Amino acid sequence: MTRKRVLSGIQSTGESFHLGNYIGAIRQWISLQEDYEVFYFIADLHALTVETKPEILSKRTLAAAAQLLALGVDHKRSAIFLQSHIAAHNQLGWVMECMAGFGEASRMTQFKDKSQKNGADRTVVGLFTYPMLQAADILLYQADLVPVGEDQRQHIEITRDLAGRFNSRYGTTFNLPEAFILKSGGKIFDLQDPTSKMSKSSGSTNGVLEIMDDPAKNVKKIKGATTDMGKEVRFNEVEKPGISNLLTIQSALTGKTIPQLEDAFEGVGYGDFKSAVAEAFVTYFSPIRERALNLLEDEPALIQILHEGAAKARVEAEKTLNLAYTNLGLVR
Ligand code: TRP
């Protein structure tokens, strides 16, 4: 029996993923390897839509790769690669741009939001064509499932629309992928402002746990997390958003359920509870951080792993690109 195929991409926006990235997405990427054939890549071409210093872009890209491997993406079983290593992404991207309507692309909310915020003159065309490159990313691998956050739902929808349109005009070429929307159950909030999502773009960095940071720094952040009125360790997102967030974190890190944790911390004060969360965090992430640092120490070996991933992925991508070109009537 052939396994269904999963594909996803992630943009690296810094030198470290934060806890929200891990619990919200990467952890689920890793468990999908058990039952699916997976292709995971770092969307370094999409990252070009934001101007970044070259040395920073390359550092971030390698850091992302090292972290994915350290967190459990298994390069023996799965293909882990860089988007820019496979020319077919751009090649099929152009084809997708020729399938998409201008109006349809203009209605994409990510484009609308960002271009409204920054003004048309400061919006690059790549931000407009972003969804068509993303469609190519997905369709090249004939993916069945695309694990993404809720904010990417519209990008999967347009991918399906473009694939369906292509198939009906030129004959069946692409599998129609489905979004596999990652559970928001484990949603992690900012430690300082526990009503907003943990995110790099939030005001202060004190609320964001970066997994590559020095453990002592994260311990300090956890101990300084905003808590709530009262003194019981109970899950109640409305009345106790701070404590609830720490309970969600503790549950994700220890595998215990929230009710089990509430029982275990019955009568324990906030301070001691936070110390326990800090300890769990360090226990969980220290070995991962060490592994990532080790991988980063030998850059040629890390890049070699990415080349091997690209070689696996390229076979699939080129097969699909060839079929699409042939069906379009491009002379082969
Ligand atoms: N747009 C995605 C994000 O910002 C990243 C991405 C690029 C992606 N290509 C993809 C995700 C293909 C899934 C499939 O998170």
Q: Which ligand 1 atom lies nearest to the CA of residue 149? A: 15
The CA distances from residue 169 to 282, 320, 324, in Å, are 54, 16, 11
pLDDT of residue 66: 98
pLDDT of residue 121: 86
Q: Are 219 and 184 in contact (CB under 8 A)?
A: no
Q: Report the pLDDT value the prediction gives residue 214, as an integer from 0 to 100.
A: 96
Residue with tokens 């271009």: 115
| 201 membership: H or E segment, kind and range | none
Angle between helices 299-328 and 153-170 (to 10 degrees): 40
Q: From the CB of residue 112, how many other CB atoms can be counted at a distance below 10 Å?
A: 11
Closest ligand 1 atom to Cα of 147: 13
Does residue 114 carry a catalytic annotation? Answer: yes
The length of the chain is: 332
Indicate if 200-292 has the same CATH topology as 5-186+299-328.
no
Q: What predicted TM-score, i.e. pTM, was given to this entire model? A: 0.94
Q: Residue 122 is encoded by which pair of tokens?
A: 């400061």
Judge whether 137 and 83 are in contact, CB under 8 Å.
Answer: yes
Give nearest CA residue, ligand 1 atom 11. Answer: 9
Tokens of 298: 């030998």
CA gap 271, 179 in Å, rounded: 41
Q: CB under 6 Å to ligand 1: residues? A: 7-11, 43, 46, 134, 137-138, 146, 148, 152, 155
DSSP-derived letter for residue 231 is S
Q: Whose CA is nearest to atom 6 of ligand 1?
A: 9
Concatenated DSSP letters of 286-312:
HHHHHHHHHHHH-HHHHHHHHHHHHHH
Q: Using the mean position of ligand 1's atoms as its centre, give its distance from the Cα of residue 134 in Å.
A: 6
Phi and psi, residue 103, nearest 5°: -65, -45
- Centre of ligand 1 to C-alpha 149, Å, is 9
What phi and psi values does residue 45 have, to the nearest 5 degrees?
A: -75, -40
Distance between CA atoms of 168 and 132, rounded to whole angstroms? 18
Is 117 among the residues known to form the active site?
no
CATH number of 5-186+299-328: 3.40.50.620
| Domain boundaries 200-292, CATH class | mainly alpha
Identify the pLDDT of residue 103. Answer: 96
Residue 211 contacts residue 27 (beta carbons within 8 Å): no
Task: Indicate the residue type of 156.
Answer: I
Pocket test for ligand 1, best of 29, 134, 139, 175 (most atoms within 8 A of CB): 134
**CB atoms < 10 A from the CB of 307, how many?**
13
Atom of ligand 1 nearest to the CA of 143: 14
Each residue's pLDDT, cut to its tens digit, for the chain (332 residues) gives 689 999 999 999 899 999 999 998 899 999 999 999 999 999 999 999 999 999 999 999 999 999 999 999 999 999 999 999 999 999 999 999 999 999 999 999 999 999 999 888 889 999 999 999 999 999 999 999 999 988 899 999 999 999 999 999 999 999 999 999 887 657 899 999 999 999 887 767 899 999 999 999 999 999 999 998 899 999 999 999 999 999 999 999 999 999 999 999 999 999 999 999 999 999 999 999 999 999 999 999 999 999 999 999 999 999 999 999 999 999 99
Domain boundaries, the chain: 5-186+299-328, 200-292
- 197, 231, 312, 319: the catalytic one is 197
| pLDDT confidence of residue 133 | 98
Smallest CA separation from ligand 1 atom 15, residue: 10
Atom of ligand 1 nearest to the CA of 7: 14
Interior CA angle at 34 toward 178 and 81, to 5°?
Answer: 70
Q: How remote is the CA of residue 67 from the centroid of ligand 1, in Å?
A: 17
Which residue is closest in CA terms to ligand 1's atom 8? 9
Query: Which segments within 166-263 are labelled E, that is strand?
Result: 178-181
